[in-house]
Structure 1
Amino acid sequence: MDSSAQNDRTLKTTFPLTPQSTLATLLAIVRNPLDALPPSVFTEPLVFSKSAGELKVYLADPALIHEALVKNAEALGKGDQVRRALGPALGQGLLTADGAHWKWQRQSVAGAFRHDKLLELQPTMIAAARRTRDRWIGVGNGTVDVSHEMMRTTFDIIVETMMSGGHGIDVGRVEKGISDFLKPTGWTFALGLLHAPEWIPYPGRGKAEAAVAFLRSSLLSVIEERRKHPDGRHDLVNMLLSASDPESGRRMSDREVVDNLMTFITAGHETTALGLAWTFGLLARHPQIEGKVLAEIDVVTMGEPVDAEHVSKLVYTRQAFSEAMRLYPPAPIITRTALEDFELGGYLIPAGTVMIVPIYAVHHHASLWSDPEAFDPDRFSPEAAKARHRYAYMPFGAGPRVCIGNAFAVMEAVAILAVLLQKVRLTTIEPEPPKPVMKVTLRSNRPQRMNLILR
């Protein structure tokens, strides 16, 4: 008998299941998938459960997350749940594809996210933030919906940097379209759990399908125009149009280019906007921390308008944004499906098992963070970050499929925070903070309206 077979005999193949009612789980998923997490994932390293006949493994231990997502990356796929929820909009783009198709697409766009390329984009980020600042100054002392404002600002940036202006895309309709698409995703997750037929109607399905049709057709018109009138612009559209598979030499079809533009426009602006909205809310509720951020901006800029050279020096501002993303990770749960049997933490995980990394729970885990519900940017000082396991903090996912735009997002967020905070102050209206609700991304359960005070 070979050693691997002998090793397999020593692996545990029975699992300590945490009871979960299928009906209760389904109802929670429809309302807010965060509520469907077993409470023990906030205190235990590894939790097994079964619902609708499907084995689920929740990983909250950084070492086990690394073992699963990095060491066993080849044994895991995105799975049917992700395909059902995101496939209609994102097709087989970078976020949803698997295997060789994912790998060559990732290689195709990697050049757009090199550090030197990102530095070239900083002036565009700052210009968009200034447009928002000037719009707010025009409002004067009034109220703004900071979630909507950040969506508008980050969309402005993604369109300018990735599509060289977007050829007249209707920003308001795109923003509404993304919300209409994401709103009923709880239903798609719940029906996927039941392996229900994909044609089954559910609340919001019609609006979601109309939104997807509008979004994809808008981007297709951009691509068709660029193919008719090619130019030398160094943006993502041209990079995708010229990309070729290093093995087969084939290029992306229009559909595949749309898949990837949809991925970057939805995931790329939505997550940063949400992180910024949560950050503004937290700073407003913690004036001492806000004061430290403002003091840093004043020292770094010496009272001058924020410019590209200042962004990398705003260390504490970046820490505040990082801490906001710990408390409110934009992508709060990631899932994978085991494509084959593999070993994890002394267990033999069978093919078909759904692996769940509840990033929200990991970021609030009692064994990983002291006083986990407190807002404390000092957790992200260089010394504190170095002492922590790399997979204790995963605002952009983890492993080979970590978000390719993570450095872009952080740079963008720091620039926007600095430009806006230098001239305006936001204060809360509601006595209690909004509740986080997962609609693929982590949104608030109500509009985040805040008082705007000019400095």
Structure 2
Amino acid sequence: MNAPPPHATIKAVVPAERRSKLTTLRYVLRNPLEGWPEEVYSAPMVRTRTMGHPTLFVMDPDLIREVMVEKADAFHKDPATKRALGPALGRGILTADGAHWRWQRRLASPVFRHENVQTFLPAIVAAAGRTHDEWADAEGRQIDVLHAMMRTTFDIIIQTMLAGAPDMDVDRVAESITAYLRTSGWAVAMALLRAPSWMPYPGRRRARRSGSYLRGALQQAITARRDSGASGSDLTGLLLAASDPETGQRMEDGDIVDNLLTFIAAGHETTSLTLSWSFYLLSRHPEVEAKVLAEIAAVAPQGVGPEHIERLVYTRQVVQEAMRLYPPASVLMRLAVADLTIGAEVVPAGTTVILPVFAIHHHEALWTDPYDFDPDRFGPEAVKARHRYAYIPFGAGPRICIGMGFALLEATAILATLIARYRLTPVRDTPPRPLLHVTLRPDGGMPMRIARRAARTR
């Protein structure tokens, strides 16, 4: 039943205690997953040093709750994350701390209420339908499913977030995001070395150009919206109209750019990856794929529509299990800004605390057969029996991903629409190597071959 596990391809070769600074940098630049101590897959907590800095890996769910919920105010975003993402995302919800983060979160939270997200479903299903139609011309050919999913999710972004910017260059935006993330390892390495922010590194100039293009394109869209006097029910319109329920403060254009870029990077990139891994896993597990197809046929015999998505329970479980095995956000990092304890461990201010999400989701003490693909792990009873903080693909606590509901509905809708009519088979015999550069990408993309399923009544 089970595809070859990814673990053997990412386990560290050199034990942490014997690594030189040069070896650590190689891991950071090549694939940080390969640099984690082997014990993160079995121990509750691992204390080590990274480039001479105190570092604490936390895997135990009770301790995760301490870090992310009970003592969240004692932590800030770590400098490496800010250095890697700040030039593009500014000080939006993902990168801000303290009061600046809190007021943005209060202002944006109503935008992602369930009733608002539901209004986006017709646009999501329509975009999935357009990809469905495009795939008819690619039948029998090899495509990069990751690239196809990037285009689909960006189509959704245009409709749900940027309805006033229909002429935005989709391919250039996608390329700019990829180019920016590709250099993130160097940005993190510079932060670990405590190098000054002006210090050059390979790809830095291109990454800056990509970030500038993304910010400029969004600023033009916001300016055009303001000049038109139209509000609109897309995300841009909702942010332009929103005000802090406590203070009445509104977002300036720069704040809106920061947060739109955050939502685009998070929603576009991470959902595309989730879908790519989902298609791959289903291709390797035909018995699971058959259950998905049976559910779709029972719920939506005439074709998937907006009204069907929340009833596709097992299909959603497939998405959730794909995010367990291949979490797009595979690591969460925090910096302790005050002395504190986590469990029985004293954690001095200045310690980097790492929640290695990939390892937590494959932890032998938390999951039975952790490398097996089993969507039944997300049935109601299984979820109830499991610790809340053993599964954290969207983070946890007050900073849990604000777009979680949107992302799950989007991924379920796209997967159901496409898998019902097309069978995808991998081109490569070996599993894609998970490569962590801010998000968890399949190294070399996700090349698969398309075949149309036997037609059914739509």
Give the match for residue 161 of structure 1: 160
Give the match for residue 119 of structure 1: 118
User: Is the 1:46–1:60 contact (alpha carbons within 8 Å) kept by the matching residues of 2?
Assistant: yes
Q: Among residues 382, 385, 398, which one is paired with 2:383 in the alignment?
A: 385
What is the CA–CA distance in structure 1 between the aligned matches of 2:365 and 2:165, rounded to whole Å?
46
User: Is the 1:20–1:49 contact (alpha carbons within 8 Å) kept by the matching residues of 2?
Assistant: no
Partner letter of residue 37 of structure 1?
A: W
What is the CA–CA distance in structure 2 between the aligned matches of 1:409 and 1:283, rounded to whole Å?
19
Partner letter of residue 114 of structure 1?
A: R
1:191 counterpart = 2:202? no
User: Is the 1:321–1:413 contact (alpha carbons within 8 Å) kept by the matching residues of 2?
Assistant: yes
Give the match for residue 8 of structure 1: none
Structure 1 alignment gaps of length 5 or more: 1-16
Q: Among residues 306, 309, 318, which one is paired with 1:308 in the alignment?
A: 306
Q: CA deviation at 1:83?
A: 1.2
1:196-225 C-alpha deviation (Å, 9 max, x unpaired)? 111121111111111111111000100111
Q: What pairs with 1:52-451 in structure 2 (closer than 5 Å)?
A: 52-246=51-245, 249-301=248-300, 303-451=301-449
Partner letter of residue 322 of structure 1?
A: Q
Structure 2 alignment gaps of length 5 or more: 1-15, 454-458
User: Is the 1:109–1:236 contact (alpha carbons within 8 Å) kept by the matching residues of 2?
Assistant: no
User: Is the 1:436–1:445 contact (alpha carbons within 8 Å) kept by the matching residues of 2?
Assistant: yes
User: Is the 2:164–2:221 contact (alpha carbons within 8 Å) kept by the matching residues of 1?
Assistant: no
Relative to the length of structure 1, the TM-score reads 0.94
Aligned CA distance change for structure 1 residues 452 and 165 (closer, same or farther; 3 Å): farther
User: Is the 1:48–1:57 contact (alpha carbons within 8 Å) kept by the matching residues of 2?
Assistant: yes
1:121-178 C-alpha deviation (Å, 9 max, x unpaired)? 1111100000000000122222211000001111111221112252411000000000
Give the match for residue 3 of structure 1: none
349-358 or 104-113, which deviates more: 104-113
Relative to the length of structure 2, the TM-score reads 0.93
Q: CA deviation at 1:252?
A: 2.1
| Count, aligned residues | 438
1:263-301 C-alpha deviation (Å, 9 max, x unpaired)? 011111110110000000010011111111111111111
Aligned CA distance change for structure 1 residues 96 and 288 (closer, same or farther; 3 Å): same
What is the CA–CA distance in structure 2 between the aligned matches of 1:18 and 1:117, rounded to whole Å?
50
Q: CA deviation at 1:20?
A: 4.5
Q: What's the secondary structure of 1:434's corresponding residue?
A: coil
What is the CA–CA distance in structure 1 between the aligned matches of 2:347 and 2:98, rounded to whole Å?
20
Partner letter of residue 312 of structure 1?
A: E
Partner letter of residue 430 of structure 2?
A: E
User: Is the 2:24–2:51 contact (alpha carbons within 8 Å) kept by the matching residues of 1?
Assistant: no
Partner letter of residue 155 of structure 2?
A: D
Q: CA deviation at 1:334?
A: 0.6
Q: CA deviation at 1:246?
A: 4.8
Partner letter of residue 188 of structure 2?
A: F
Moved over 6 A (4+): none
What is the CA–CA distance in structure 2 between the aligned matches of 1:165 and 1:362, rounded to whole Å?
41
User: Is the 1:184–1:205 contact (alpha carbons within 8 Å) kept by the matching residues of 2?
Assistant: yes
Q: What's the secondary structure of 1:371's corresponding residue?
A: coil
Q: CA deviation at 1:257?
A: 1.2
What is the CA–CA distance in structure 2 between the aligned matches of 1:42 and 1:22, rounded to whole Å?
23
What is the CA–CA distance in structure 2 between the aligned matches of 1:257 and 1:450, rounded to whole Å?
37
Partner letter of residue 315 of structure 2?
A: T
What is the CA–CA distance in structure 2 between the aligned matches of 1:311 and 1:52, rounded to whole Å?
47
1:51-96 C-alpha deviation (Å, 9 max, x unpaired)? 2221101001111000111000110001211110000000000100
Partner letter of residue 122 of structure 2?
A: P
Partner letter of residue 325 of structure 2?
A: L
Partner letter of residue 291 of structure 2?
A: K
